[in-house]
Structure 1
Amino acid sequence: MATDQRKPLPFVYNFVAGAIAGVSEILTFYPLDVVKTRMQLDTGKSQGLVGSFRSIIAQEGFGRLYRGLVPPLLLEAPKRATKFAANDFWGKTFLDFTGERKMTQQLSIMTGCAAGATESFVVVPFELVKIKLQDKSSTFAGPMDVLKTIVRKDGLLGLYAGMESTFWRHFWWNGGYFGSIFQVKSLLPKPTDKGTEMRNNLLSGTVGGLVGTILNTPFDVVKSRIQGATNVPGVAPKYNWSYPALVTIMREEGPAALYKGFIPKVLRLAPGGGVLLLVVEFTLEVFRKALGPPYM
């Protein structure tokens, strides 16, 4: 059966494929995420990628590069699963709504943005715990200590600190990611075998990760600042809403501060985006073969 004629896989298969891809990506690139967060939380002069790595290892030991791994590891399965399953859901929804028979560039961007918005609601508590543990000044014993402290001080809603900035971070990243994948694949030669199909997935996913990272890094910086702050009763937080916070950071630290942590972030999410798409497509193909026609 031709690729465009085969029956779409049920939701659960897209969900599981995304989960497998997410765990694969986080285990490979996590230390870069720790360095990225440190650079974003630092309001002074940046040490740069290599300097940050050296500083963390020299002062805190190599194991600190995996500090806070448990929350994102637990998160990656539902997070990435939600990303790809939501992208599949919104893609079908927008196609039905517009009456289009095939995905277009505009629809792929809209689909990605909607998937990112959906994903953001899942990730906020996990991201909050991760940021608290990755902070250099963190004294928390572990993930459960962070959760208990936040709930005791701020209630259950405290776990959703930074929700608005997380929403924009995922909205723009997914729009750039899935929109770029569509565009790059349309420019590449049609795959004639599994090798060229894997190459196309890796290349388009990597470009998508790069574009998504360029678009969303300023919102990621704001999110890190909001979630890394300690709330003081009666004192208005310095960083609260995303767009005003962008202006504050730019005014006080210069435009370049909006891209703090960009190098480790892009080194993770550009190839990481390629790995994600590669593993997702490979896993979905395994499911199609197992289910047989009409999914083949």
Structure 2
Amino acid sequence: MTASSTEVDAVEEIDYEGLGASTPLHINMIAGALAGVSEHAVMFPVDVVRTRMQVLAAAPAATYSGVAEAFSRISTAEGARALWRGVTSVILGAGPAHALYFGTYEAVKELTGGNNEGHQFASTAFAGASATIVSDAFMNPFDVIKQRMQMHGTVHRSVFRCASTVYQQEGLRAFYVSYPTTLTMTVPFTAVQFSVYEWAKKVLNPSDNYSPLAHAIAGGFSGAVGAAVTNPLDVAKTLLQTRGTSTDATIRNASGMFEAFRIIKQREGMKGFARGLAPRVLTYMPSNALCWLSYEGFRFFLNERNKAL
């Protein structure tokens, strides 16, 4: 290798290593928005299956024994379009929410020393938790609408009509009744995810140069770990977000996370908290891989273009 090519390689690695600290906030936010839309849109059909498998007291026609069966029955009985119902809500919410998410993450990580040498677990965990508090405050209503439209037998075909109906029948509280549970789930999920991602990225790619494969593997692994750890909270969140459609009076009047836990434990025991585990992991592993691959890629190329202007 010639001296000039060595110098070029060194410059490329330094450029990427300094990306977190030197990249403008607006580039982090644009990259995050693009990554968020890519992540959620691609994996949306699996998310539909997860929602349906987590709903308690579902009609026999909406009870599935596995992921493959759920896909087959939904496609056959309702058509392939049913697997995409509610995706508009995700697209409308995911872009801005992920812009806030990654913008907050990078800013807090830099302020708390997360870009320093070594594995800065405390900094990345705190930055991830801060990011999810901000983004979930924006995204929670869109998530409620999405899950209402994903359910078996839903009458909702329009995001705006669904939002209007929920507001008229249940009030503004319906959009945020699950927010404390969402935070209780997503704060540890994000802390675990970011910590595992940063660790795995440094193990797989110690030189910290731009490596799409390393970002994808680290992202997929961190997503699977985070999803498995927080699945019980996701079951409780689904119960709260879909309670308004239930014919079960106890579920319909559930007012918070602890009551949701009590209902799940009472009805199904500890196994109830594993509802939807397989599709949740199957959703988060590839979607997280795609999210981090997209985010790191968009951020790298946007930053390079910005410096060239």
Distance 1:285-1:141 versus aligned 2 partners, 3 A rule: closer
Aligned to 2:260: 245
Aligned to 2:281: 266
Q: How does 1:57-136 map to 2 (within 5 A)?
A: 57-95=75-113, 101-102=116-117, 104-136=120-152
Tell me how far 1:113 sits from its aligned partner.
Answer: 1.6
Distance 1:193-1:83 versus aligned 2 partners, 3 A rule: closer
State TM-score, norm by structure 2: 0.84
Tell me how far 1:30 sits from its aligned partner.
Answer: 0.8
Contact 1:19 1:79 in 2 (8 A): yes
Aligned residue type for 1:76:
A
Contact 2:240 2:260 in 1 (8 A): no
1:113-139 Cα deviation digits (max 9, x unpaired): 221222210111101111111111311
The percent of aligned pairs where both chains have the same amino acid is 22
Tell me how far 1:281 sits from its aligned partner.
Answer: 0.8
Deviates further, 152-161 or 209-218? 152-161
Contact 2:170 2:244 in 1 (8 A): no
State TM-score, norm by structure 1: 0.88
Tell me how far 1:142 sits from its aligned partner.
Answer: 1.7
2:161 is aligned, of 122, 145, 153, to 145
What is the alpha-carbon root mean square deviation over aligned residues? 2.5
Q: Distance in 2 between matches of 1:261 and 1:128?
A: 17
Q: Distance in 1 between matches of 2:142 and 2:50?
A: 17
Tell me how far 1:87 sits from its aligned partner.
Answer: 0.9
Partner secondary structure for residue 150 of structure 1: helix
Q: How does 1:5-20 map to 2 (within 5 A)?
A: 5=18, 7-20=21-34
Q: Distance in 2 between matches of 1:272 and 1:150?
A: 29
Contact 2:174 2:241 in 1 (8 A): no
Q: Provide structure 2 residue ranges, at least 5 long, that are not aligned to the other structure.
A: 1-10
Partner secondary structure for residue 50 of structure 1: helix
Contact 1:128 1:161 in 2 (8 A): no
Distance 1:92-1:5 versus aligned 2 partners, 3 A rule: closer
Tell me how far 1:185 sits from its aligned partner.
Answer: 2.0
Q: In the alignment, does 2:206 pair up with 1:184?
A: no
Q: Distance in 2 between matches of 1:206 and 1:49?
A: 19
Tell me how far 1:14 sits from its aligned partner.
Answer: 0.8
Aligned residue type for 2:108:
W
Q: In the alignment, does 2:29 pair up with 1:21?
A: no
Aligned residue type for 1:169:
M
Deviates further, 279-288 or 157-166? 157-166
Contact 2:27 2:303 in 1 (8 A): no
Contact 1:37 1:261 in 2 (8 A): yes
Contact 1:116 1:172 in 2 (8 A): no
Partner secondary structure for residue 139 of structure 1: coil
Aligned to 1:47: 65
Distance 1:193-1:185 versus aligned 2 partners, 3 A rule: closer
Partner secondary structure for residue 108 of structure 2: helix
Aligned residue type for 1:118:
V
Aligned residue type for 1:160:
Y
Q: Distance in 2 between matches of 1:257 and 1:231?
A: 19
Aligned to 2:218: 204
Contact 1:177 1:208 in 2 (8 A): yes
Aligned to 1:36: 50
Aligned residue type for 1:152:
Q
Contact 2:180 2:257 in 1 (8 A): yes
Deviates further, 27-36 or 250-259? 250-259
Q: Distance in 1 between matches of 2:208 and 2:140?
A: 41
Q: Distance in 1 between matches of 2:285 and 2:81?
A: 24
Deviates further, 175-184 or 151-160? 151-160
1:52-91 Cα deviation digits (max 9, x unpaired): 1122112211110111111011112112222211211221
Q: Distance in 2 between matches of 1:16 and 1:120?
A: 18
Tell me how far 1:216 sits from its aligned partner.
Answer: 2.0
Distance 1:161-1:193 versus aligned 2 partners, 3 A rule: closer
1:246-293 Cα deviation digits (max 9, x unpaired): 243123212222121121121121111111111111111112211228
